[in-house]
């Protein structure tokens, strides 16, 4: 019985992990970062029409700064202690790079792959229990 519980837990975790990631169904090539807000076009659930929606996500809801390093955490609020942030993506990752305060009070480079924590659900980016907004048209 213990083996079945462990197996069920592992399968559940695998499903959670596979639910993460947005680069496969969002246009990361035109992704923009405005302060802590990440915006891009993402597929909604209407695959017959192959629709895209513009979505904004406050990445503060996804990451925290811990000692000058970025880590996933719901309502992490990294933004007040990090600056000079930018994003760059590929078909497998979408990196957020910032200069973040470390424990010595100095800024140090920090990078985190947002594709590991951010997901797309019906055209809206989200992480943990937070869902960003979406519209039919974006700024691009």
pLDDT computed for residue 8 by the predictor: 33
Q: What is the pLDDT of residues 25-43, one digit of tens each?
A: 899 898 999 999 999 999 8
pLDDT computed for residue 18 by the predictor: 37
SS3 120: strand
Decide which of 12 and 82 is more confident: 82
Domain boundaries, the chain: 2-135
SS3 25: coil
pLDDT computed for residue 13 by the predictor: 34
Decide which of 94 and 139 is more confident: 94
Residues 6+ apart with CB under 8 A from 86: 33, 96, 97, 98
pLDDT computed for residue 46 by the predictor: 75
Q: Domain 2-135: what homologous superfamily? A: Cyanovirin-N (2.30.60.10)
pTM: 0.81
Mean pLDDT of 68-97: 96
- The mean of the pLDDT values for the chain is 84
Closest CA to 89 of 21, 37, 137, 36: 21
- Is the CA virtual torsion 78, 79, 80, 81 positive or negative? positive
**pLDDT above 80 (res 2):** no
């Amino acid at each position: 019985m213990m083996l079945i519980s462990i197996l069920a837990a592992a399968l559940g975790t695998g499903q959670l992990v596979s639910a993460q990631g947005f680069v496969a169904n969002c246009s990361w090539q035109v992704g923009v970062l405005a302060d802590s807000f990440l915006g891009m076009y993402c597929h909604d659930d209407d695959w017959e029409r192959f629709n895209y929606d513009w979505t904004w996500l406050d990445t503060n809801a996804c990451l925290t700064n811990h000692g000058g390093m970025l880590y996933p955490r719901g309502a992490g609020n990294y933004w007040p202690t990090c600056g000079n942030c930018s994003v760059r993506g590929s078909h497998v990752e979408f990196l957020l790079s910032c200069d973040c305060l470390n424990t010595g009070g100095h800024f140090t480079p920090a990078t985190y792959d947002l594709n590991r924590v951010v997901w797309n659900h019906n055209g809206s980016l989200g992480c943990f229990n937070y869902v960003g907004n979406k519209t039919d048209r974006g700024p691009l």
